[in-house]
Amino acid sequence: MRPRSPPRGGVSALGAARRALTRAASNPVDRVNLLDHDLESLAAYCATLGEKRFRAVQLFRWIHQKGESDFGRMTDLAQSLRDKLAAAAEVRPLRVASEQAAADGTVKWLFDVGGGDAVEAVFIPEDDRGTLCVSSQAGCAVGCRFCATGHQGFSRNLSTGEIVGQLWFAEHHLRRRLGLAAGERAISNVVMMGMGEPLQNYAALLPALRTMLDDHGYGLSRRRVTVSTSGLTRMIERLRRDCPVALAVSLHAPDDALRDQLVPLNRKHDIAALMAACRQYLDAAPRDFITFEYCMLDGVNDSPEQARALVELVRGRAGPVAVPCKLNLIPFNPFPESGLKRSPRERVQAFAKVLQDAGIVTTVRKTRGDDIAAACGQLAGEVQDRTRAARRMTRAPIRIVAVHTP
């Protein structure tokens, strides 16, 4: 049995729930969206309605396990509670603006989140799993050179309900489409690898993760929920303390000089600090390794010398501490604004061989859904940019510094 997450702090959660109830009662339009609540928060909200915790558990199961949004159909709830919920709360789904299916079975949804913003989520079916790639922000402020989302700029963080709402819709929509029996899951894995940097939206991410993991919710294993980050070291430490799930780190370069250009956040969170944070994260992680993502860019980060430097880095011989890891090499998915090209297949294979010969578990990611722009780095949605990304990310040439390895 998995250990349950500790309570989030009943007093503050109860106070927040009371304030939300007061707003909803005074303004019928301002209803409480129950998708914003993990179980502890929902229990606090139900307490403001004069209901005991077991009612919150029943309600939580109706919403997440059964996909029900109509309180009237939640038949084992007391009629008095259903009436209270109907007056002040709702299960507010995201509006689906479009759905696209790729030739390989990948499905991409565009969700309208209001204000001119829309975010994308992607379902990737495989023989032994169904993976949902979830967005955490409308846009992204990190501005990685090879990422279409970053080139669109940043509008706002998503709420917990908007993050969970992607899973809520996809799980129950796919169950109906696939004709799954009661209790069968369509989605076995969730990766926070959609639009945005999840750890820059930590306040909304944490309750979303707890809802995904909760046995009364989606009951996903910590090993099957992955948070991908570009390397916010202090937030990696917070995640380790609060809700350690599988961790993937967007590395993309073996040295600071190159990573500063590809992942601008590296200028504040350099590779040495990042490696130390990753090594410490493993003390609490559900897996005994960190996944490093490495996007293969033609003539930029794909030389044999850079592969050898990467070996030295993760083994701790280049300065930072050693980090048990798996390397995931990602073929770049080109888009015009990037000014970059995909590494040739033979160069990717040669790069992988250097890592594998050094005893590092290395995979080359199979591109999925690229015919509908659903592959890694292609998610863009629609973003009302508040960061002047087009001006900020003017394509300056990438400077390649010679790498010297033994």
132, burial (CB in 10 Å: exposed 0-12, middle 13-18, buried 19+): buried
Question: Does 288 or 366 have the greater pLDDT score?
Answer: 288
* pLDDT of res. 25: 46
* pLDDT of res. 393: 58
Is the pLDDT assigned to residue 1 strictly greater than 50?
no
User: Which string of DSSP letters, residue by residue, matches 105-150?
Assistant: S-EEEEEEEETTEEEEEEEEEETTEEEEE---EEE-SS--TT-HHH
Residue 382 — pLDDT band, cuts 50, 70, 90? confident
Question: Does 383 or 158 have the greater pLDDT score?
Answer: 158
The 10 Å CB-count burial string (b at 16+, else e) for 165-200 is bbbbbbbbbbbeeeeeeeeeebbebbbbbbbbbbbb
350, burial (CB in 10 Å: exposed 0-12, middle 13-18, buried 19+): middle
Model confidence over 34-53: pLDDT tens digits? 999 999 999 999 999 999 99
Domains and CATH numbers, the chain: 10-90 (1.10.150.530), 95-392 (3.20.20.70)
For 46, 255, 263, 328, the CA distances from 281, given in Å and listed in that order, are: 35, 21, 21, 19
* pLDDT of res. 7: 41
User: Which string of DSSP letters, residue by residue, matches 35-53?
Assistant: GG--HHHHHHHHHHTT--H
* pLDDT of res. 352: 98
In three-state secondary structure terms, 192 is strand
**Residues 199/219, Cβ–Cβ less than 8 Å:** no
* pLDDT of res. 29: 53
If we measure between CA atoms, which residue out of 376, 390, 260 comes closest to residue 329? 376
Is the pLDDT assigned to residue 365 strictly greater than 70?
yes
* pLDDT of res. 383: 75
* pLDDT of res. 231: 96
Rounded to two decimals, the pTM is 0.88
**Residues 292/339, Cβ–Cβ less than 8 Å:** no
Angle at 261 between CA 343 and CA 375, to 5 degrees: 45
**Residues 207/165, Cβ–Cβ less than 8 Å:** no
**Residues 91/34, Cβ–Cβ less than 8 Å:** yes
Q: What are phi and psi of 360, to 5 degrees?
A: -95, 125
User: How many Cβ atoms from other residues are within 10 Å of residue 404's Cβ?
Assistant: 8
Place of tokens 């919920």: 85
Model confidence over 196-216: pLDDT tens digits? 999 999 999 999 999 999 999
Q: How far apart are CA 245 and CA 220, in angstroms?
A: 10
User: Which string of DSSP letters, residue by residue, matches 57-97?
Assistant: HHHHHHHHTS----GGG-TTS-HHHHHHHHHHEE--PPEEE
Total residues belonging to the chain = 406
**Residues 135/120, Cβ–Cβ less than 8 Å:** yes
**DSSP assignment, residue 230?**
S
Residue 84 — pLDDT band, cuts 50, 70, 90? very high
Residue 82 — pLDDT band, cuts 50, 70, 90? very high
Mean pLDDT to the nearest integer, 60-64 = 98
Q: How far apart are CA 45 and CA 35, in angstroms?
A: 12
* pLDDT of res. 10: 40
* pLDDT of res. 381: 63
Residue 333 — pLDDT band, cuts 50, 70, 90? confident
Is the pLDDT assigned to residue 147 strictly greater than 80?
yes
* pLDDT of res. 5: 41
Least reliable range by pLDDT among 134-138, 267-271, 320-324, 366-370: 366-370
Model confidence over 273-284: pLDDT tens digits? 999 999 999 999
Is the pLDDT assigned to residue 156 strictly greater than 90?
yes
How far is CA 367 from its chain centroid? 18
Residue 286 — pLDDT band, cuts 50, 70, 90? very high
- Which H or E run contains 276? helix 271-281
Average pLDDT of the residues of the chain: 88
Question: Does 147 or 242 have the greater pLDDT score?
Answer: 242
In three-state secondary structure terms, 326 is strand
Mean pLDDT to the nearest integer, 212-241 = 98
**Residues 26/19, Cβ–Cβ less than 8 Å:** no
Looking at the annotation, which residues are catalytic? Answer: 120, 376
